[in-house]
């Protein structure tokens, strides 16, 4: 008989939430301190923009590679091994990041940190999904994401108090402290039962060797695409958009990220409750897609607006993209226990890893149509892909997760 926790307020949920808190702090720290840190190593304003896009793309490629590595490890060696290994890697990478002197050193540290950061969310969501009863799964995973995402707000306020190098040291230190808390968490009973049954685990190729499974995987990825268009383009480069909108005043990307993630945190918790009330993941998704679309329209129509309006629109966009928790949970629910960690860890990281492609598309469209129209078309494409994928995806609200893939 497999043990399942009855309460959503248990040590696994708490530790997964705190792990994601540190993960988000480290993941977004570069976006928050991008301008001052690159200026500090001697870059010109134009180089800050160009090299900033390069470094964030390299970090996302690290996340993409790490997603596959940690996902496979999560199914082969267990969910907890990933939670330990990933946090140790990104903690050490962030400490090293505090010592960089050149763009290439910076990019290398963000690449290694990206590999480490990739394991945290998927392993945490998989563990919590398998430990909680199905009627509480959505709320539990939403709490993990909602609490975790406040790490961005913490990173922003620390960046106002400490030098950017110290902020990286703090991120590394927090991760190492969290390792000690992890000792009290137990492995998933579902995973242990699968391990004992001697079924093939963590075979990454299983995601691709059946047409139906491959299509299911692609749809799971597509559902999350708008999130990183919003964060990686609209929010991270809100200062550049502000110039295009002729906004009077200076928009600070770090503050925009803080507002966006405050919105995402609230959205992530709320979507779990909405999903619970509607007894549907998909209906909750449609509502939050509509909110995202509304705030995109408002965002692209703020010509001659104010700095404060820009920040509040970033918060609204963040709230709309608070479907991240349900998106990752749906990824975990779609696949069997023997490849669940592989799927749940790679899916969000393939979305993150798609950011360089989104940036390439945006660059092409802005050269053809201008900054604002190019951004509008890119956003519309990302949203359309996600809505179609969600429509074609199977509902997973009441799905029993105790099954394996063959």
In sequence order, which ranges of 132-252 are alpha helices (DSSP H)? 137-148, 151-161, 164-182, 189-196, 211-223, 225-229, 238-244
Flag whether pLDDT at 208 surpasses 90. Answer: no
Distance CA(329)–CA(281), nearest Å, equals 9
Contact (CB, 8 A) for 62 and 356: no
Average of pLDDT values for 68-76? 87
> Within 13 Å, how many C-alpha atoms sit on residue 139's CB side?
16
The listed range with the strongest mean pLDDT (206-215, 303-312, 344-353) is: 303-312
pLDDT for residue 406: 75
Q: Residue 170 in contact with residue 95, Cβ under 8 Å?
A: no
Return the higher-pLDDT residue of 99 and 137: 99
Lowest mean pLDDT among 126-140, 165-179, 215-229, 357-371: 126-140
**In this structure, what is the dihedral angle of CA atoms 218, 25, 251, 48, given to the nearest 10 degrees?**
-80
Across all residues in the chain, what is the average pLDDT? Answer: 88
- Give the residue, 253 or 391, on which the prediction is more confident: 391
Question: What average pLDDT does the segment 207-217 reach?
Answer: 90
Question: In a 10 Å sphere around its CB, with 0-12 CB exposed, 13-18 middle and 19+ buried, how is residue 293 labelled?
Answer: middle
| Least confident interval from 38-47, 194-203, 337-346 | 194-203
Residue 400's pLDDT is 79
Q: How confident is the model at residue 191 (pLDDT cuts 50, 70, 90)?
A: low
- In this predicted structure, what is the pLDDT of residue 361? 96
Q: What is the pLDDT of residues 121-146, one digit of tens each?
A: 777 888 888 788 877 787 888 888 88
Which pLDDT belongs to residue 186? Answer: 66
DSSP 188: P
Percent of the chain residues topping a pLDDT of 90: 49
Taking the C-alpha atoms of residue 216 and residue 404, their distance in angstroms, rounded to an integer, is 15
pLDDT in tens, 144-171: 888 888 898 899 999 999 999 999 999 9
The answer on pLDDT for 203 being more than 60 is: yes
pLDDT of residue 2: 45
Rank 108-112, 203-207, 325-329 by mean pLDDT and report only the highest.
108-112
Model confidence at 227: pLDDT above 80: yes
**Which pLDDT score, from 0 to 100, does residue 205 have?**
80
Residue 95 has pLDDT above 60, yes or no: yes
All domains of the chain in start order, with CATH? 11-392 (1.20.1250.20)
Is a pLDDT exceeding 70 seen at residue 202? no
Tokens representing residue 100 in the block: 């960089």
Q: What pLDDT score does 378 carry? A: 97
Number of helical H runs and strand E runs in the chain: 18, 0
- Angle, helices 164-182/11-40, rounded to nearest 10 degrees: 160
In this predicted structure, the answer to whether residue 196 has a pLDDT above a threshold of 60 is yes
pLDDT of residue 125: 82
Give the Cα separation of 110 and 355 in Å (integer): 15
Q: Which helix (H) or strand (E) holds 40?
A: helix 11-40
- % of residues, the chain, pLDDT over 70: 95
Using one digit for the tens of pLDDT, what is the confidence trace for 110-123?
999 999 988 887 77
């Amino acid at each position: 008989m497999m043990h399942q926790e009855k309460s959503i307020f248990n040590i696994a949920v708490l530790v997964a939430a705190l792990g994601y808190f540190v993960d988000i702090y480290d993941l977004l720290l570069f976006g928050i301190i991008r301008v001052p840190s690159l200026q500090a190593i001697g870059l010109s304003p134009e180089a800050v923009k160009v090299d900033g896009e390069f470094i964030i793309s390299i970090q996302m490629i690290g996340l993409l590679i790490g997603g596959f590595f940690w996902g496979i490890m999560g199914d082969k060696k267990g969910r907890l091994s990933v939670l330990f290994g990933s946090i140790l890697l990104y903690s050490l990478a962030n400490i090293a990041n505090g010592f960089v002197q050149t763009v290439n050193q910076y990019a290398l540290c963000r690449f290694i940190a990206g590999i480490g950061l990739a394991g945290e969310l998927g392993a945490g969501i998989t563990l919590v999904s398998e430990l909680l009863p199905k009627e509480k799964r959505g709320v539990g995973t939403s709490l993990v994401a909602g609490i975790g995402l406040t790490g961005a707000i913490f990173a922003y306020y620390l960046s106002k108090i400490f030098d950017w190098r110290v902020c990286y040291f703090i991120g590394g230190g927090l991760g190492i402290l969290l390792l000690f808390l992890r000792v009290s968490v137990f492995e998933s009973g579902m995973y242990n039962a699968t391990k004992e049954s001697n079924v093939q685990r963590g075979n990454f190729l299983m995601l691709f060797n059946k047409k139906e499974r491959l299509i299911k995987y692609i749809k799971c990825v597509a559902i999350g695409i708008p999130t990183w268009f919003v964060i990686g383009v609209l929010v991270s480069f809100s200062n550049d958009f502000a110039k295009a909108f002729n906004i009077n005043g200076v928009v600070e990307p770090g503050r925009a990220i803080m507002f966006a993630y405050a919105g995402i945190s609230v959205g992530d918790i709320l979507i779990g409750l909405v999903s619970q009330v509607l007894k549907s993941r998909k209906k909750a998704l449609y509502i939050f897609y509509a909110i995202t679309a509304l705030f995109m329209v408002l965002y692209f129509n703020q010509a001659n607006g104010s700095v404060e309006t820009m920040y509040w629109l970033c918060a609204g966009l963040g709230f709309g993209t608070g479907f991240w928790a349900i998106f990752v949970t749906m990824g975990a629910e779609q696949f069997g226990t023997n490849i669940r960690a592989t799927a749940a860890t790679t899916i969000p990281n393939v979305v993150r890893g798609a950011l360089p492609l989104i940036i390439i598309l945006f660059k092409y469209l802005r050269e053809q149509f201008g900054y604002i129209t190019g951004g509008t078309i890119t956003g519309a494409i990302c949203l359309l892909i996600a809505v179609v994928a969600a429509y074609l995806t199977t509902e997973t609200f009441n799905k029993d997760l105790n099954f394996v893939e063959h």
